[in-house]
Amino acid sequence: MKAWIKITFRLVLCHLFSYLLVSVSYYNLVMKSYYEGDNPVFATFLITEKNPTEWAIAMTWLLPFQILHALVFVFFLILIWDWFAAQNFTKRFLTVFWLKGLVGGIASIGPSPGNLEGFLFFLSSVTTSIHLLVAFEVLLQSALTAFVFVFWTKNFKTDSP
């Protein structure tokens, strides 16, 4: 099998695993009250379960969009694969974590809960604690994705994709 196919398959699976484990759990255990309940802060600017028709559409497209999300990161990783494959476990972990968590999450362009522009441009109803909760989720999911992917590819052939 071509190396780029293995890289793609593994990173997509690692992303989906960490998304399902971290984000789905985190939503239900920590963030759900910000989407529903007495003061659903996110319902003012996001599709939530309060609108069942739009929520059903969003849930239908969630998995394909998560795969697309992972493919964007795969594209960059393949570009730097020769360098990446030559690094030790820690540098590989930090590269994937940096790429997904910091660049793709905290420093992403466009205001969103938990990212730098979100802190600046969101109304005060999205409090600092909400931003920090979202940022923690992003970093936790990114760390899990990075760890599982790097562990899974630690003995991966270093041939160029």
Residue-wise pLDDT tens digits, 85-96: 999 999 999 999
| CA atoms within 13 A of residue 79's CA, in its CB half-sphere | 8
39/127: higher pLDDT: 127
Which pLDDT value is given to residue 1? 61
Across the range 38-46, mean pLDDT stands at 87
Give residue-wise pLDDT tens across range 112-150.
999 999 999 999 999 999 999 999 999 999 999 999 999
Q: How far is CA 58 from the centre of its chain?
A: 17
Q: What secondary structure letter does DSSP report for 41?
A: G
Tokens linked to 64? 């394909």
- Class of residue 150 by CB neighbours under 10 A (exposed 0-12, middle 13-18, buried 19+): buried
Helix (H) or strand (E) holding 100: none
Q: Mean pLDDT of all residues in the chain?
A: 91
Q: Greater confidence, 155 or 15?
A: 15
pTM of the model: 0.90
Q: How many angstroms separate the CA atoms of 67 and 64, rounded?
A: 5
